[in-house]
Amino acid sequence: MFADPLTAIGSMSIPFLISNLGTFIGFVMAAYFAIKYTFNFYEGRPKPLSWTLIITGLCSLCISELIQFMMPYRTNVMEIELLINLVAQNFGIMLIVFGCYLIWREVI
């Protein structure tokens, strides 16, 4: 079911594994810090829709990056996994963009 991540892509296996892992950890840390910021800043007050959308988008991108992290090491990549990855990634990006738009609308 899974190929060895250290030899699956030849000499590029280890750098590819580290870069994919770094990207996944970066998205997880961004989601974590956004959640911590929102809970501390809006403590006891209702959270605005903009930050809820941004955090949901970051969590969706975390799921997408986890799928992308594991995909090169699968011996049979199913089309369903590719579709779920594309949907999760595009959905997350749209949520973040719309959340940023709402923040921009608050300023104007």
pLDDT of amino acid 76 = 76
Mean pLDDT within 30-57: 93
Q: Is 91 helix (H, G, I), strand (E, B) or coil?
A: helix
Q: Looking at residue 25, what is its pLDDT?
A: 94
Q: What is the DSSP string of 35-90?
A: HHHHHHHTTTSPPPHHHHHHHHHHHHHHHHHHHHHHGGGBSS--HHHHHHHHHHHH
9: pLDDT strictly greater than 80: no
Query: In this predicted model, what pLDDT tens digit does every residue of 45-101 receive, in sequence order?
Result: 999 999 999 999 999 999 998 888 887 777 777 787 788 888 999 999 999 999 999
d(CA 81, CA 42): 37
Give domain limits for the chain.
10-107
Q: Tell me: pLDDT of 1 over 70.
A: no
